[in-house]
A and B are shown apart, each in its own frame.
Chain A
Amino acid sequence: MENEKGEKRMPLTRLPEKKRARVVEITGGSHLRDKLMGMGVYAGRELLKLSCIGLRGPVVVKVGRSVVAIGYGMAGKITVEAL
């Protein structure tokens, strides 16, 4: 899934570890969007994926100076663009 600029779009769960990406879209309810927004995860924001715990465990990302653990299902609703 490459767009015209050669950037790759994918769900956060598929982003490789230690890679930077920009959030493109958060699907799911506005409740989820608000929650993530409060923690600094919103469309347009850059983040660094630190790790993901196997067996559908949480994805750990760094946004700004905070480290946030996002459940696997929720992370699947966040589309990112690898930088």
Chain B
Amino acid sequence: MIKRIYLAGNPNVGKSVVFSRLTGVHVVSSNYPGTTVEISRGSLQYGDKDIEVVDLPGTYSLEPTSGAEETAVSLLNELPKEEIAVVNVLDSTNLERNLSLTLQLIEKGFPVVVCLNMCDDAGHRGIYIDSDKLSSLLSVPVISTCAVTGAGIKLLMSTIQEARPVSRPRLSHGERWLELGKLIEQVQSLEHRHHTLRELLEDASVRPWTGLLMAAAAVFVSFKMVRFIGETIITRITDPFFMEIYRPLLEKLTAGMKEGGFWFHLLIGDLINGGIDFKQSLGLLTTAPYIEIGMVLPYVIAFYFILSLLEDIGYLPRLAILLDNLMHPLGLHGYAVIPILLGFGCNVPGILSTRVLESKRERLIAATIISIGVPCVPLQAMIVGLLGGFGGLYVGGVYLVLFSLVIILGLMLNRLMRGNSPEFLLEIPPYRIPPLYLLGRKLYFRVKGFLLEAMPVVLLGVLFINILMYFKVFDAVTGLFAPLVVNLFGLPKDAIVALAVGFLRKDVAVGLLAPLNLNIKQLFIASTLLAVSFPCVATFFVLLKELGLKALLKSTLLMIGISILVGTLLNFVILR
């Protein structure tokens, strides 16, 4: 009896979408190789029992040449072959290369069902595949599917049980490609199509000049769109809600409470000019929800919408090619662009996706750069909220400092660490127009993930700070660090609380700076310090998991050193 079903296939053929369809478990898919960095497991109801389904990382070959491929191969060999079935997912638009893995799976004696995915896209491109003929030539079941719409999935489910090992002679690589050439001639027919606009755009985006123009346009438009969407949500939805509905409600509810009392301090915080000020009151029901929902969430939605769109269209690998030569001096290659871009949303997924990079050295460099020099959306939203009023120059200044840090750090780490950076080798996916519902689902899961992760920490953090402040516990701590912060960074003593809270969550920390009446120079220094100093607690744990304790300690020391250096330099040299 089958105990486990594996989904195997080349990178970026839609395995994760097939997985979602089979199990109902949502996993993130994107139009670039290597999205699956964590192995997803789910189950499929079969008659009266559940069978485990495992989504393997994409592999080109069963003779592993990368970490992801090793994982895939060792998982495949976990159970005896009689107890498993392998659903081999293929990209119909690129049958020849995909079938290489199919032959290997069959030769090794795995019970295989072939799933010809993306068959609609193949049709658009004038590719026709005779799946019955392919099935008889391979002697395994072949099912055409389009996982994005769900077509063929039911048939696939009912066919899995028919998977049987078949005997096929083992071929060498060279023989196998020859065999594939013959197979393809018999099952695939191509209809000549004129170059479509899509193909012209695909070509233009990988040529140097047109590519750079397109990249500049893409980055510019994305940036503008994120700001536009974020600001629209704030001015049209969240601000009216907080100001016109939530505030009057709060004021009614707390009318009987005494200002300055423990509960009032905890829930509402301080009244500013006799009223609630969502940015400065610092209460559990005032500033805490306002920071997350009124200031950060709109930008989280906007950022992930644009990022998901770029991901699913398939633009990011093209950006990676163009930036490859610029990344080499930093000890990285072009593909590191993807984790870094994800890091701008939240450092946690950014660092997790450094797994697409091959060597430990690259992963360490990329993770360090992300945790020090890449500000997440919540931090950026707060910095814009705080400094934006003084003019775009200051906001730009923070980015400039961070960007310089990334360059310096990368150059330094590349020099200091042994080993050299491996070469770039990447398959470039075709452009695809993502179906709106998939985009919407991805956005929904990312935003939900953000809220679930952020809200509890924010509420607990504000609660904790308010209790400590009420009992004046912070005074002792601030006294200890005061010389450093006051003399070196030119910040008031109270800013220490904010800097310390930066360990919990960066957005709350920036929020704590608001009531301190800092001048613009102090705000600039404090915001920059919050961005570069130690990562927030979630990032800290993911660094520990990915890099290990030793590397984490090293990069933490690096961060503390850099913060002190940057704070002092900004205070005495640059912003004098």
- Of B95, B324, B430, most A-chain CB atoms within 10 Å: B324
Q: Verify B424–A71 contact, CB threshold 8 A.
A: yes
The residue on A at minimum CB distance from B204 is A51
Please report the C-alpha to C-alpha distance between residue A35 and residue B11 in the assembled complex, in whole angstroms.
Answer: 13
Interfacial residues of chain A within 57-76, with CB under 8 A of chain B in the complex: 57-58, 60, 63-74
Known: A34-B61, A37-B61, A38-B100. A53 touches B425 (CB 8 A): no
Please report the C-alpha to C-alpha distance between residue A63 and residue B320 in the assembled complex, in whole angstroms.
Answer: 20
Chain A residues near B324 (CB, 8 Å)?
53, 57-58, 69, 71
Chain A residues near B334 (CB, 8 Å)?
58, 69
- Of A54, A64, A68, A71, most B-chain CB atoms within 10 Å: A71
Interfacial residues of chain B within 540-561, with CB under 8 A of chain A in the complex: none
Chain B residues near A64 (CB, 8 Å)?
94, 96-97
- A55 part of interface (Cβ distance < 8 Å): yes
- A83 part of interface (Cβ distance < 8 Å): no
- B203 part of interface (Cβ distance < 8 Å): yes
Known: A39-B60, A42-B174, A64-B96. A31 touches B65 (CB 8 A): yes
Q: Verify B427–A74 contact, CB threshold 8 A.
A: no
* B466-502 near A? 1/0 per residue, CB < 8 Å: 0000000000000000000000000000000000000
Known: A64-B96, A64-B97. A57 touches B325 (CB 8 A): yes
Q: Verify B325–A55 contact, CB threshold 8 A.
A: yes
Please report the C-alpha to C-alpha distance between residue A66 and residue B206 in the assembled complex, in whole angstroms.
Answer: 14
Please report the C-alpha to C-alpha distance between residue A70 and residue B206 in the assembled complex, in whole angstroms.
Answer: 12
In the assembled complex, the CB of A8 is this many whole angstroms from the nearest CB of chain B, namely: 23
Q: What's the interface size class on A, roughly?
A: 20 to 34
In the assembled complex, the CB of B115 is this many whole angstroms from the nearest CB of chain A, namely: 18
Contact of B321 among A34, A60, A65 (CB under 8 A): A60
Contact of B173 among A31, A42, A54, A73 (CB under 8 A): A42
Q: What's the interface size class on B, roughly?
A: 35 or more
Chain B residues near A36 (CB, 8 Å)?
425
Chain A residues near B96 (CB, 8 Å)?
40, 64-65
Q: Verify B427–A57 contact, CB threshold 8 A.
A: no
Chain A residues near B317 (CB, 8 Å)?
69
Q: Verify B428–A40 contact, CB threshold 8 A.
A: no
Please report the C-alpha to C-alpha distance between residue A31 and residue B63 in the assembled complex, in whole angstroms.
Answer: 10
In the assembled complex, the CB of B41 is this many whole angstroms from the nearest CB of chain A, namely: 25
Q: Verify A70–B425 contact, CB threshold 8 A.
A: yes
In the assembled complex, the CB of B176 is this many whole angstroms from the nearest CB of chain A, namely: 9
Chain A residues near B503 (CB, 8 Å)?
none
- B442 part of interface (Cβ distance < 8 Å): no
Contact of B424 among A52, A67, A69 (CB under 8 A): A69
* B59-93 near A? 1/0 per residue, CB < 8 Å: 11101011000000000000000000000000001
In the assembled complex, the CB of A83 is this many whole angstroms from the nearest CB of chain B, namely: 17
Q: Verify B94–A66 contact, CB threshold 8 A.
A: yes
- B164 part of interface (Cβ distance < 8 Å): no
Contact of A53 among B60, B211, B426 (CB under 8 A): B211
Chain B residues near A66 (CB, 8 Å)?
94, 97, 427-428
Contact of B325 among A40, A45, A56 (CB under 8 A): A56
The residue on A at minimum CB distance from B61 is A38
- Of A45, A54, A55, A66, most B-chain CB atoms within 10 Å: A66
Q: Verify B173–A39 contact, CB threshold 8 A.
A: no
8 examples of A-B residue contacts, CB within 8 angstroms: A38-B100, A39-B425, A50-B206, A51-B206, A51-B211, A69-B206, A69-B317, A69-B425
Inter-chain pairs besides A40-B177, A66-B428, A68-B425, 5 sampled, C-beta below 8 Å: A37-B173, A53-B325, A57-B325, A64-B94, A74-B425
Chain B interfacial positions (CB closer than 8 Å to A): 59-61, 63, 65-66, 93-97, 100, 173-174, 177, 202-203, 206-208, 211, 317, 320-322, 324-325, 328, 333-334, 423-428, 430
The 7 A-B residue pairs with the shortest CB-CB distance, nearest first, are A38-B60, A71-B423, A71-B424, A57-B325, A38-B61, A67-B428, A74-B423
